[in-house]
Amino acid sequence: MARHGMEDQRKEPARGKFSHNPLVVTVIPALITGLLGVFGTYLAARAGHLPGIPAPAVTVTVTQPATGTGTPSVSTPSAVYFQDPILISGSPGLDFDINPPAAGPDAVSISYNTFSLAAGSSTGGLAVWTNDGTPKAADCKIWVSTQQVPSVYQPVAGMKICFKTNQGRIGLLQVMPGTSENQFKATATVWGT
């Protein structure tokens, strides 16, 4: 019977088997930390936050009416509709739904009088780009929808102003030198189909 008692004393308890193994104590946390780091890097790359790692491609969709009788609907601008220097002086302003832009009714035109660039009452408004670089069509679309104002007072050379037309086209005005009290000079880019 004494022998049976000694065997019981030599057995290790089953629940503490791995808690004293130094390999398990150091490898498991390091493995978990490494996996979390790889997953974090993957998420940052997908969001486009890592230099040298391209962000995933974005698909652009443009919708058009089935017949020629409706107003075109642009979900995301894709192609350059118009791009050239423009001059706006007084009223009527320029209608950027016309290619090339031409005088149009005040409600759908962008006009310029006494240092003030103004959007017509039927346009989506103007939005001064305050970020670095030159915005693309998608940037301007978001910017106009969140930062729009009815007018921009005293535009200066180098300023970038996003806008939306009456028919939903997205545009960018890059103010040029020579803009004065009653003459607005800019390079205009209008996207849409």
Average pLDDT over residues 81-102: 91
Tell me the whole-structure pTM to 2 decimals: 0.60
pLDDT interval class at 105 (50, 70, 90): confident
Instruction: Look at residue 61 in the predicted model and tell me its pLDDT.
Output: 37
CA angle 171, 176, 177 (to 5 degrees): 165
How many whole angstroms separate alpha carbon 185 and alpha carbon 178?
7
Instruction: Look at residue 153 in the predicted model and tell me its pLDDT.
Output: 94
Average pLDDT over residues 72-101: 81
Question: Taking a C-beta distance cutoff of 8 angstroms, is the pair 138, 62 a contact?
Answer: no
Among the listed residues 119, 117, 113, the one whose alpha carbon sits nearest the alpha carbon of residue 155: 117
Residues 125-148: pLDDT tens digits?
Answer: 899 999 999 999 999 999 999 999
Residues 146-158: pLDDT tens digits?
Answer: 999 999 999 999 9
- Given a cut of 90, is residue 43 above it in pLDDT? no
Per the model's pLDDT, the better-predicted residue between 105 and 135 turns out to be 135
pLDDT interval class at 17 (50, 70, 90): low
Among the listed residues 85, 111, 112, the one whose alpha carbon sits nearest the alpha carbon of residue 176: 85
How many whole angstroms separate alpha carbon 123 and alpha carbon 103?
15
Instruction: Note the Cα 150 to chain centre separation in Å.
Output: 21
Question: Which phi and psi angles does 6 have, rounded to 5°?
Answer: -70, -35
* Range of lowest pLDDT (10-14, 67-71, 177-181): 67-71
- Residue 172 is which amino acid? L
pLDDT interval class at 60 (50, 70, 90): very low
